[in-house]
A and B are shown apart, each in its own frame.
Chain A
Amino acid sequence: GAVVSQHPSWVICKSGTSVKIECRSLDFQATTMFWYRQFPKQSLMLMATSNEGSKATYEQGVEKDKFLINHASLTLSTLTVTSAHPEDSSFYICSARDFHRGNTYEQYFGPGTRLTVT
């Protein structure tokens, strides 16, 4: 149980183009999903909190117009990197909370998406 998938697992795009990454909770409903970014040999940094049916909450320093988040259903959140540049190259990981488990703080993580911008 508590499986989270991401698609694609890796993507290479040209500078200036946009890329969409999907995060799905496969066997549970998730009112809240989180998007993280991880650089090589570093920890995970929270980018934004995605709430189903409402606007995402972005962490300080994260450009909301560049990293568009849509949480349209209880099982799907998407992150779109707009006008990507090489410095956006990173490992993007999503996580989800199980809606039916009440106040649990446990997050279940997807396998990550490696984005390379050339």
Chain B
Amino acid sequence: GQQLNQSPQSMFIQEGEDVSMNCTSSSIFNTWLWYKQDPGEGPVLLIALYKAGELTSNGRLTAQFGITRKDSFLNISASIPSDVGIYFCAGTYTSGTYKYIFGTGTRLKVLA
């Protein structure tokens, strides 16, 4: 099935550093969402974006809905060890079905 491309695929960072990751698509999306998944668990919703250009924060996390509607960005400021996990973007482009297309994931590891 179709997937969104996420970059980077994985990253190691030092505690306290800021992190940026993005998600791109060849198609226009109506909604972008960001989830975090810990090993052996289901994804947890971090941020949902509904308008092109929208910038939304949730604590140390900030996400943006790209102007072209074909991309989205997630930034994590001052990373801490519990930020470790896999971050997935998800988008919807078919109105009325509420189906997600998931990104390929960014695996984050934080070095204390």
In the bound complex, how far is the Cα of B102 from the Cα of A93, in angstroms?
A: 13
Whose C-beta in chain A lies nearest to the C-beta of B35?
Answer: A109
In the bound complex, how far is the Cα of B1 from the Cα of A95, in angstroms?
A: 18
Q: Which residues of A contact B100 (CB under 8 A)?
A: 34, 44, 46, 105, 107
Interface residues on B, range: 20 to 34
In the bound complex, how far is the Cα of B98 from the Cα of A105, in angstroms?
A: 6
Cβ of B105 < 8 Å from any Cβ of A? yes
In the bound complex, how far is the Cα of B3 from the Cα of A25, in angstroms?
A: 27
User: Which residues of A, 22-80, contact B by the 8 Å Cβ criterion?
Assistant: 32, 34, 42-46, 49, 59-61
> What's the least CB distance linking A115 to chain B, in Å?
13
Which DSSP category, helix, strand, loop or mixed, fits chain B's interface? loop
- Convert B1-23 into 0s and 1s, putting 1 for each residue whose CB lies closer than 8 angstroms to a CB of A: 10100000000000000000000
Interface residues on A, range: 20 to 34
In the bound complex, how far is the Cα of B42 from the Cα of A12, in angstroms?
A: 19
Chain B residues near A (Cβ < 8 Å): 1, 3, 30-31, 33, 35, 40-45, 48, 50, 88, 92, 97-100, 102-105
21 sampled A-B residue pairs with Cβ under 8 A: A6-B42, A34-B99, A34-B100, A44-B88, A44-B100, A45-B102, A46-B102, A60-B1, A104-B48, A105-B31, A105-B48, A105-B100, A107-B45, A107-B98, A107-B100, A108-B45, A109-B43, A109-B44, A111-B41, A112-B40, A114-B40
